[in-house]
Amino acid sequence: MSDTLKRAAAERAAQIVTDGMRLGLGTGSTAAHFVAAIGERVRGGLKVVGVPTSEATREQAQREGIPLTTLDETPDLDLTVDGADELDNDLRLIKGGGGALLREKIVASASQRMIVIADGSKLVTKLGRFPLPIEVMPFGLTATERAIARLLDSLSMTGELRLRHAADGAPYVTDGGHFILDAHLERIDKPNVLASTLNNIPGVVEHGLFLGLATGAILATADGLVELGQ
Ligand code: 5RP
């Protein structure tokens, strides 16, 4: 059911795409439906270029025949379409469940519009139940982890930091060669404060709070599509 909903949101987003658009191509199971839908339209004559947000998306887009570019060649994008792990009614997001948060944030920041596609269960009243991914340098991991723990303490936030592991039991390594600490916080009362202070910790490369980046969302529910923003 959830996959059907993800595809419905993705296919609606694909209808918004017009000739000449420079697209950010998101990562994850929902974004994969969008990439597939764009691939189908490209094979039907749509002219777009895409910047993938992960190696996995790059490989899929290449298989689909979507012309690709880079942010160095094409630094201004018209539209990024990506999934999310959580979003609230103010279009604040937690992303990075799939480990691609760094490239996803760079690409979203280079885009005039970012539309989130998701099944309706991702919409929450308060962010934080989904563990917040924090991408960190492998160098000095323990020191960085302790600095994050001290920060959370100073913000009166409790929660465990867990190093993400891959299926083979080794630490999960991002496309950028970094590790991910998942912060199990349960609730984030002040996302802006947490986001800006996390960015001040040396060793933190990026975090999964996407604030002020999404301009719209397409949520698929059993009762139909719900669109927020644009
Ligand atoms: C990857 C992401 C994904 O967009 C997020 O994890 C949602 O994934 P899915 O569409 O598979 O539920 O942020 O880093």
Query: Could you tell which of 85, 135, 172 is best to mutate to test the pocket of ligand 1, judged by most ligand atoms within 8 Å of the CB?
Result: 85
Rounded Cα distance between 111 and 217, Å, is 15
CA distances 161 to 9, 150, 195, 213, Å, are 32, 12, 16, 25
Rounded Cα distance between 157 and 17, Å, is 41
Residue 56, ligand 1, Cβ within 6 A? no
**Residue 104: active-site member:** yes
Report the 10 Å Cβ neighbour count for 81.
30
Q: What is the ipTM of this complex?
A: 0.98
Q: What is the pLDDT of residue 1?
A: 59
Query: Could you tell which of 1, 27, 81, 174 is best to mutate to test the pocket of ligand 1, judged by most ligand atoms within 8 Å of the CB?
Result: 27
Mean pLDDT score, 195-217: 98
Q: Which of 15, 85, 29 is nearest to 57 (CA)?
A: 29
Strand pairing partners for 179? 136
pLDDT for residue 97 is more than 90 = yes
Q: Does the annotation list 105 as a binding residue?
A: no
**In this predicted model, what pLDDT tens digit does every residue of 135-165 receive, in sequence order?**
999 999 999 999 999 999 999 999 999 999 9
Nearest CA owner, ligand 1 atom 1: 98
pTM of the model: 0.97
Please say whether the beta carbons of 83 and 26 come within 8 A.
Answer: yes
Task: State the distance from the centre of ligand 1 to the C-alpha of 115, rounded, in angstroms.
Answer: 13
**In this predicted model, what pLDDT tens digit does every residue of 117-136 receive, in sequence order?**
999 999 999 999 999 999 99
**Percent of the chain, pLDDT > 70?**
100
**In this predicted model, what pLDDT tens digit does every residue of 16-27 receive, in sequence order?**
999 999 999 999
Q: Does the annotation list 30 as a binding residue?
A: yes
**Percent of the chain, pLDDT > 90?**
98
Mean pLDDT score, 29-43: 98
Rounded Cα distance between 157 and 184, Å, is 10
Active-site residue identified among 11, 64, 86, 104: 104
Nearest CA owner, ligand 1 atom 7: 84
